[in-house]
Amino acid sequence: MPLRRSSVPVDDQVASPLFIATASIALVLCAQALWLLGDQTAPDLRASLALQLLTLIGFAGWSRRATGSYLNPALLVVTAIYFWHSPFLTGHYFALGSLFDYTGDVFTYGEQYVYATVALVSLAIGLAVIGALVAHLGEPVRAARGAARPTDALPESVGWVAIGATLAVTLAFVAVEGRQSFSADYFSQYTSDVPQTPLYRLYDSSKFLGVVAILLLFRTVRGSRGRVLAGAAVAIVIFANLLFGSRSMPFIYGLALLVAIDRYVRPISLWLLGALGVGASALSFIVDQTRVYGIGLKILDFRSTGASIDLFNIFWNAGSVVKTVLRTMDFTVQTGPMWGTSFLDAIMSLVPTPLWSALGVGSHAFHPSVWLVQNSGDVAFGAGLGYSLVGEAYLNFGMLGCLMFIPIGWFVARQFARANRTSFSFGDIHALNIAVLLSLHMRNDFITYFRTIVWAVLLVEFLRIFYGAKWKAAEPLAPSVAT
């Protein structure tokens, strides 16, 4: 199935004034961040926050022109960095509304590190953009043209098996676990001592693989009827997860659905994305308010709250995740940097726990989110703070941790750019899967989603190799020159 490609040649993309302007803004943002570390004044702080937004807008314009999509992986990653760390601080320091006057627990710890935090986030954004731009510099002068290669033509059954497995596990989880969970409220699930069943462990360990299942489904499905059925299957998975009061899973499945439609069906306009964003914000607010009174179908009873729907709640509320970076900077004064320990633990987590036990090695992985709660005196029992990839980069390497966002931006942009010029590569699925996961997990421990990323990459590569080898084995031999 041919993939949609940008109509703009690569040489025009790189040499364009928009490319140069985007690169310049990103470099200015990084320079301003370094300046802010030494000259900590309110005007410089506001300048950095304004430059973050300007860089995001500029990169959105260039990446849309280069890839043909506002939902390209590099832009999703950069947007996630900004979305989870900057909207609240921007609203607070620019006095944009009464919502930002209430800081809650954002500044309970580490308020003295606001300038350093803003500088760190600015560097993460700027360097991710630079990494993505460099990825396009490495592309050929002009994109290759032509139809999809036979090795890339996965059978439609692959997508249906993938989404079927996700749907089966999800519905089984709802049917079995829902009986008990739906009789309680959302937060009691985290404070109860009910043992985890095998079904719960299966669901919990595989649920994020639903993202790659959705991508495979829409990459392989054919015909308008097939796409409608595919959309219905994904909608059922989203609704089933919504019944448990989760905002994360419906968000990540919904974003995967949008990305898959944009990539494999038709482009989604900026106006429609804006409208869907406001709708998602309203839905997030409804779930957040109603799950206190119970889950299951009670999630849909917003009248019980007596509140009014806040259409823009998520845009300022999500930015409060920056408190995890503030606390990380505050607490690491005593502990010092970890020098990659948490990332090494994430890599070691790929080895199954029973194997570690058989070797007589205990598996005590470090979770930064747990460490953060243990050092915070204002967290209620059973509650959590989440975490941040930006904060984890600082926890391990200090301000130098921002350098890790260069390869992240480069990798997703490079994979997607290669897929745009030749459909032989499965780089689009790799890049989109990582970008969608990071869109949510930018506010989580790296160890939480690293295994999912690795499993998804291995699954897609297995399919690529298996069906590629199968096609080559069936290929008729070319006649020899002598004949």
State the pLDDT confidence band at 423, using cuts at 50, 70 and 90. Answer: low
Q: Which of 134, 82, 36 is nearest to 417 (CA)?
A: 134
* Distance in angstroms (rounded) separating the CA atoms of residues 395 and 418: 33
Query: CB–CB of 351/303 below 8 Å?
Result: no
Q: What is the pLDDT of residues 251-271, one digit of tens each?
A: 999 999 999 999 999 899 999
- Rounded to an integer, the average pLDDT of 448-477 is 79
* Token pair of 218 as six digits: 């829409």
CB atoms inside a 10 Å sphere around CB 286: 21
Q: Is the pLDDT of residue 229 over 80?
A: yes
Residue 87 is encoded by which pair of tokens?
Answer: 């909207």
CB neighbour list of residue 146: distance below 8 Å, 6 or more residues apart: 422
How far is C-alpha 325 from the chain's CA centre?
18
- pLDDT bin (cut points 50, 70, 90) of residue 142 is very low
Whole-angstrom Cα distance, residue 210 to residue 162? 8
Per residue in 370-418, pLDDT tens?
Answer: 999 999 988 876 677 889 999 999 999 999 999 999 999 999 999 998 8
Give residue 453's identity as a one-letter amino acid code: I
pLDDT-derived band at 125 (thresholds 50, 70, 90) equals: very high
pLDDT, tens only, 71-89: 999 999 999 999 999 999 9
Retrieve residue 420's tokens: 């745009």
Q: How confident is the model at residue 363 (pLDDT cuts 50, 70, 90)?
A: low
Q: How confident is the model at residue 150 (pLDDT cuts 50, 70, 90)?
A: very low
| Residue 141 pLDDT > 60 | no
Asked whether the beta carbons of 284 and 318 are under 8 A apart, the reply is: no
Confidence of residue 148 (pLDDT cuts 50, 70, 90): very low
The values of phi and psi at residue 282, to 5°, are: -65, -45
Among residues 449, 426, 430, 435, which one has the least CA distance to residue 208? 449
* Least confident residue range of 90-94, 243-247, 256-260: 243-247
Residue given tokens 């470099």 in the structure block: 27
pLDDT digits (tens, 9 = 90+) for 272-325: 999 998 888 888 888 887 887 777 777 777 777 777 777 777 777 777 889 999
- Position 103 scores a pLDDT of 77
CB-based contact 136:413 (threshold 8 Å): yes
What is Dmax (Cα atoms) for the chain?
85
* Number of neighbouring beta carbons within 10 Å of residue 339: 12
**Position with higher pLDDT, 372 vs 468:** 372
320: tokens are 């409060």
- Residue 402 amino acid letter: C
For 4-39, b/e burial (b = at least 16 CB within 10 A) is ebbeeebeebbeeebbeebbebbeebbebbeebeee
- Report the pLDDT value the prediction gives residue 310, as an integer from 0 to 100: 75
Question: Does 478 score more than 50 pLDDT?
Answer: no
Contacts of residue 331, Cβ cutoff 8 Å, sequence gap at least 6: 109, 371, 372, 375
- How distant, in Å, are the alpha carbons of 191, 296, 309, 394, 471 from that of 185? 11, 9, 20, 36, 52
pTM above 0.85, yes or no: yes
User: What would the pLDDT profile of 1-14 be if each residue is shown by its tens digit?
Assistant: 444 444 444 445 55
Q: How many helices (H) and strands (E) does the chain have?
A: 22, 0
Whether residue 139 has pLDDT greater than 90: no
CA pair distance 14, 24, nearest whole angstrom: 13
Q: Over range 153-165, report the average pLDDT.
A: 90
Structure token digits, residue 206 = 């595989």
Per-residue pLDDT, averaged over 346-357, amounts to 76
The chain-wide mean pLDDT, for the chain, equals: 84
Q: Mean pLDDT throughout 173-202?
A: 74
Burial class (CB in 10 A: 0-12, 13-18, 19+), 331: middle
Burial readout 348-383 (b: 16 or more C-beta within 10 A, e: otherwise)? ebeeeeeeeeeeeeeeeebbbbebbbebbeeeeeee
In 392-452, where do the E strands start and end?
none
Q: Go through 74-94 and write b for each residue having 16 or more CB atoms within 10 A of its CB, e for each that does not.
A: bbbbbbbbbbbbbbbbbbbbe
User: Cα dihedral sign for 73, 78, 83, 85?
Assistant: positive
Q: SS3 for 363-390, per residue?
A: CCCCCHHHHHHHHCCCCCCCCCCCCCHH
pLDDT digits (tens, 9 = 90+) for 35-65: 999 888 989 999 999 999 999 999 999 999 8
Q: Are 82 and 52 in contact (CB under 8 A)?
A: yes
Provide the terminal-to-terminal Cα distance of the chain, rounded to the nearest Å.
Answer: 35
Give the pLDDT confidence score for residue 291 in this predicted structure: 80
